[in-house]
Every structure is written in structure tokens, then in C-alpha cells.
Amino acid sequence: MNKHSLREEQCYTELAGKCGSLFEYLKTLITAELPLWEEHFGFLAKEVPNHWIEDDSTLAAIHRVNPIARIGILRVPPNTCYDWHKDAYRLCCVNMLISNDSESVTLFGAESRGLQTRQIIPIKYKPKTFYLFNNQVDHCVINLGPERFVFSLYFTKERPFEMVKAKLQAAQALV
């Protein structure tokens, strides 16, 4: 590895507080027939009503610091890989795993200089826990199990990960 190795704190950070009744609502929504799933940047997605932004205390804290535009669920089919990429439209976001992650993993990574290897940093999701993600670090999702469901959001204005992280830290919204 070169001396500028990727570090976990550059990739993601855990938010304080646990998801409340929103989590149970999301669990019911993943099996509901309506609304229908729509294609969204290679995922299937369902939008979640925006009232949850104020109804969930962690989302409300995030929204006060960096306003949220939209919230939803992303669905990853079984036995698939969402290949290495940086998001084209999001600088950072907040994600939370809804389904069991025993057979899936999200990896952040950086290529090693001159080698066909990649330094990787996995995220080990804690139940009902939101994470601020740096969408501008290469990342991928490998799902070897059943369908995988992740809560995700869009901010009203795109700001770099470090800026949003500093604002959340100042508001004591990080672990």
C-alpha cells in the first residue's frame, strides 16, 4: 500500500441514535405491492413519504443540519454485484440496511499503485443505524444472499462528505 492509504473515516461514519418506528414501516414497505418498484441508477427503488423526515428523530436531526430532499429504499437482487463506482449525482448520502446483511457486503476501496489489487474497507452495519456515506470514494455492493434492501436519501443541496460530516459533528449527531 502507498503511504496515502484509504481510511474508514474517509468512507463512512455512524450517526447517533437508532431508527424508530420508521424501521418497522420500511420492513412492511419492502413486501408491499404498492407503490411499485422503479428503476433508479441500476437499482430498483421505492420512494418513502417525506413526513418521515420529521417523524424520525435521527432524520429530523440530519434535516436541520443539511436539508433532505427525498428518501427511499434501494433493492439489490440476489447473487449480484453493483460494480465499483463513484456516484455521478450524490456527493454523500445517508444509508441504513433494512434487510439482514449476513450474505452481502458494501465495500469502499482504493486501487493500489501499480498493482492489480485494491485496498478495501467493508462497512459492518449495525441494526437500525444510519451511516453517512462518502459517495465519491469508489464503492461496490456484493450480494450473495437473498434480496437486499437499503434505506437511502438525497440531500436538497449536494455538499462534500467532509462538510456534511463536520456539520453533523458540530450538531452532536455522530457517534
Q: Does residue 3 carry a pLDDT above 50?
A: no
Q: If you search the block for the grid coordinates 462497512, which residue do you land on?
A: 123
Average pLDDT over residues 17-30: 94
**Res 132: pLDDT:** 98
**Res 39: pLDDT:** 80
Q: If you search the block for the grid coordinates 441504513, which residue do you land on?
A: 96
**Res 4: pLDDT:** 61
What percent of the chain has pLDDT above 90? 79
For residues 58-74, b (16+ Cβ closer than 10 Å) or e, as one string? bbebbbeebebeebbbb
Q: Does residue 25 carry a pLDDT above 80?
A: yes
What percent of the chain has pLDDT above 70? 96
Q: Does residue 123 carry a pLDDT above 70?
A: yes
Distance CA 59, CA 172 (A): 13
Angle at 27 between CA 42 and CA 142, to 5 degrees: 35
Are residues 15 and 173 in contact, defined by beta-carbon separation less than 8 angstroms? yes
